[in-house]
Structures are given as structure tokens and as C-alpha cells.
Amino acid sequence: MTTWRIGTTAGDPARVATILPGSGYTAQGPLLWYAAKALRAAGWTVRTFAWDELSPDWTEARRTYGEALRSASVPDGCRHLVVAKSLGSFALPVAVDLGLPGAWLTPVLTGNASGPVRAALAAGTAPALLVGGTADPLWDGGVATAPDTEVLEVDGADHSLEVGDWRRSHEVLARVTGAVERLATQL
């Protein structure tokens, strides 16, 4: 069985963000690090998920991320935002069941494992942000059809949302962080 933990940075208990990493892309990766930093600066309580192993199996990730969202001690009436990278998008079906808004960074939208993620996106009613790059084989920008879904598609960006040149990659990082911040503000 894969083990995991959640660290919490206290902030406003009525605004909670849960950060879900990718496979081999921890919460210290720039996309999640700066999103969490922006949320903390805005006063949110930030719950950061960490795997004790580097790359869990996809079935285990789906189950565990769902468990992490369902077991969150979030007060009734609280705003609870999910910010997830890649593998973290496997939490999308549970987030939709719970009515949670989410920022889904480079979600898994292609291949056999993407079915539940795609179905959840189509069924979702909570505000959502989808971010992906046209050079990412796991991205399908045409999937976002639900109302209240903002899509930020980065031309030429790979699965890490990098575009080759470090200056342009930093600009992309700033755009993504700003989009997460705007989503949180709208809640």
C-alpha cells in the first residue's frame, strides 16, 4: 500500500486549498509551488499532499486522491479549492461529486486512463480552470465544454508547461499562477 501525508499551512479556515501533485512532480515543482504561494499570500489555508514514494500506480493514485478529498476536515460552508497537477487530475471525479472547484494543471485528458477525468469534466458544475500545452501528449484542449470552465492553453508548452526558452517558460508560470489566483478570488 502506498503511503502519503498532508501538511497544512494555517490561514483562513473558511478558505481551504488542497494541492495534489503529479507523478514525479511534487508540490515543490514551480506550477504547484507558486500556486500555493499565491493562495497563502491571499490568506487561504493550504493543505499540501505528498507521496512517500515517488510514483504511485494510477489506480492507487485515483483511490488515494479521492480519499484525501473526502476525508478533508473542511467546515460546512467553507470554500474548498483543489489545485492539481497531472496525476492529481485523477481526483476530478471525487471533486465533481463533492462540488469542489479546481485548477487542473496539465490534466490527463488522453489515453485509456483519461475516461473518468473526461467524464467528470463534462459533468462538473463548479468553477474550473484547465491548463495545458499544445505539445503535451496528455492534453486535449477540446475537452473543456462544461460551463464555468476557463481554459488556458499554451502554444508549444510540454507537460511541465515549459516552452523551451526559460524566459518564456517564466512568463507561462506567471500566467498560470495568475489564473489560479483569479479563480480563487472568484470563489
- Contact of 132 with 106, CB cutoff 8 Å: yes
* Predicted TM-score of the model (pTM): 0.95
What is the DSSP code (8-state) at residue 156?
T
The whole-angstrom separation of Cα 101 and Cα 96 is 8
Q: Could you report the per-residue pLDDT of 132-179, keeping only the tens digit for each? A: 999 999 999 888 666 789 999 999 999 999 998 999 999 999 999 999
The whole-angstrom separation of Cα 179 and Cα 142 is 19
Non-local (6+) Cβ contacts of 164 within 8 A are 156
- Cα 13 vs. chain centroid, distance in angstroms? 20
Q: Where are the beta strands (DSSP E) in the chain?
A: 4-9, 12-20, 44-51, 79-85, 102-105, 128-133, 149-154
The whole-angstrom separation of Cα 3 and Cα 53 is 7
Please give the average per-residue pLDDT across 58-81, as a whole number: 89
The whole-angstrom separation of Cα 114 and Cα 80 is 24
- Write down the pLDDT at residue 1: 61
Q: Could you report the per-residue pLDDT of 87-121, keeping only the tens digit for each? A: 999 999 999 999 999 999 999 999 988 999 999 99
- Write down the pLDDT at residue 55: 67
